[in-house]
């Protein structure tokens, strides 16, 4: 204590500043539990990123929450099939949420999402490891999208687009399978998996055998401010032996050279719009061209999404890797978010046609697309949604 005097005011002010800063940084943590068709989801939502550690003993699961900021802890009353109670406690200065389940035989999957921070725990009854149930019934997907109030302000929409529909059958297999049926079956399975595991809203361009124009499919994505657009197709080729999976993103094949250059290299939507605006005098023409070119501003992210989905398709299906490709797909041109078109396998190939109509294969495809989507979201976490 050789020179306590000059130090004390400084230390005091630092402490004051720190506590002021911390006081400002009070983080509200909200927990709610909700039952879905075949699982129970606990959502822990906070206004800032938290470090969480999970530890399980018997029928209880402790969630330890670490944060430099002070926490304001909130819980809603619990009434659930699987969860008996949730209680906040403190141990060694750390906040711990104790989740007590009704049975000690349960499994759970944990997921986090950013902005606002969310930790989600999906509880299921039983001992077995969590895995995508094979041959599950998809007729009653979990009612997340229909939940009365969206869980949080930041929930974004993923649009799934099962190709064709109604009188528009798409490619036809030799054994009679139609592209429109295969795409719908896979689309519904993918929807169920996303809703079971992620806190995104899923909107389908069609959920039954109806005709939807390509323009309306893109519009549905744009009107919902979609985070991603995934179009599902089954391929058809003149070449009988064609086989394998391909993931496409849009090729700006015959667009104006400068727009192509901008789209491929450094660009922002604004820059692209400025350049187009500078080239076009008439307002109507301008608007039409912008709408037409909506996908141009998202080409790079679309190609990343395509890569990640294709990698999972190759790994999971064991189909030949045909790689990611570009083609001028009409349905992608007007989508104003990262967008890909997955050609799952070839209906024109009888071997693959047989696989395409099987539930197991359809489940695997849905699972692979889902895994690719998760990798993408990890790479590009959605910003605070609108």
Interacting residues with another protein (CB under 8 A): 163-164, 168-172, 179, 214, 233, 235-242, 246, 248, 253-255, 292, 327-330, 333, 341, 343, 346-348
Work out the burial of residue 261: count CB atoms within 10 Å of its CB; fewer than 13 is exposed, 13-18 middle, 19 or more buried. Answer: middle
CA 252 and chain centroid, separation: 26
Nearer to another protein, 106 or 248 (CB): 248
Q: Supply the minimum distance, in Å, between the C-beta of residue 213 and another protein.
A: 8
Work out the burial of residue 291: count CB atoms within 10 Å of its CB; fewer than 13 is exposed, 13-18 middle, 19 or more buried. Answer: middle
What angle is formed at CA 107 by the lines to CA 103 and CA 109, rounded to 5 degrees?
140
Nearer to another protein, 80 or 242 (CB): 242
Q: Give 328's contacts (C-beta < 8 A, 6+ positions apart).
A: 250, 251, 253, 254
Nearer to another protein, 99 or 341 (CB): 341
Bridge partners (DSSP) listed for residue 259? none
Q: Supply the minimum distance, in Å, between the C-beta of residue 332 and another protein.
A: 9
Nearer to another protein, 63 or 250 (CB): 250
Q: Supply the minimum distance, in Å, between the C-beta of residue 371 and another protein.
A: 23
Neighbours of 216 (CB within 10 A): 12
Nearer to another protein, 102 or 172 (CB): 172
- Which CA distances in Å does 308 have to 38, 314, 380, 382? 29, 10, 12, 17
Q: Supply the minimum distance, in Å, between the C-beta of residue 155 and another protein.
A: 32
Bridge partners (DSSP) listed for residue 172? 178
Radius of gyration over every alpha carbon of the chain, rounded to an integer in angstroms: 25
Length of the chain, in residues: 386
Tokens of 4: 């306590």
Nearer to another protein, 156 or 233 (CB): 233
Q: Supply the minimum distance, in Å, between the C-beta of residue 293 and another protein.
A: 10
Q: Supply the minimum distance, in Å, between the C-beta of residue 170 and another protein.
A: 5
């Amino acid at each position: 204590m050789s020179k306590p005097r000059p130090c004390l005011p400084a230390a005091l002010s630092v402490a004051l500043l720190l506590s002021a800063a911390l006081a400002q940084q009070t983080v509200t943590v909200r927990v709610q539990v909700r039952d879905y068709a075949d699982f129970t989801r606990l959502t822990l939502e906070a206004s800032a990123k938290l470090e969480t550690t999970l530890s399980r003993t018997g029928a209880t699961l402790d969630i330890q929450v670490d944060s430099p900021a002070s926490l304001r802890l909130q819980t809603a009353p619990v009434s659930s099939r699987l969860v008996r109670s949730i209680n906040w406690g403190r141990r060694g200065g750390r906040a711990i949420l104790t989740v007590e389940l009704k049975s000690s035989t349960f499994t759970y999957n944990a997921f986090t999402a950013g902005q606002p921070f969310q930790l989600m725990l999906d509880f299921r009854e039983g001992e077995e490891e969590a895995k995508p149930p094979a041959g599950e019934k998809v007729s009653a997907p979990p009612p997340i999208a229909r939940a009365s109030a969206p869980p949080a302000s930041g929930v974004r929409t993923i649009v799934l687009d099962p190709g064709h529909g109604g009188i528009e059958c798409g490619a036809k297999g030799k054994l009679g399978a139609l592209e429109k049926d295969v795409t719908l079956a896979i689309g519904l399975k993918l929807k169920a998996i996303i809703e079971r595991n992620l806190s995104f809203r899923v909107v389908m361009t069609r959920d039954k055998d109806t005709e939807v124009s390509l323009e309306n499919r893109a519009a549905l994505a744009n009107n919902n401010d979609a985070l991603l657009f995934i179009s599902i197709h089954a391929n058809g080729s003149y070449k009988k032996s064609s086989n394998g999976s391909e993931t496409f993103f849009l090729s700006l094949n015959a667009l104006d050279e400068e727009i192509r250059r901008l789209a491929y290299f450094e660009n922002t939507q604004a820059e692209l719009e400025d350049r187009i605006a500078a080239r076009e005098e008439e307002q109507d023409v301008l608007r039409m061209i912008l709408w037409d070119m909506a996908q141009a501003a998202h080409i790079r992210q679309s190609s990343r999404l395509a890569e990640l989905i294709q990698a999972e398709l190759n790994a999971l299906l064991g189909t030949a890797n045909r790689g990611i490709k570009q083609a001028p797909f009409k349905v992608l041109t007007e989508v104003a978010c990262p967008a890909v078109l997955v050609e799952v396998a070839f209906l024109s190939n009888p071997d693959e046609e047989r696989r395409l109509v099987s539930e197991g294969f359809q489940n695997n495809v849905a699972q692979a697309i889902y895994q690719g989507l998760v990798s993408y979201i990890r790479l590009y976490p959605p910003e605070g949604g609108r």
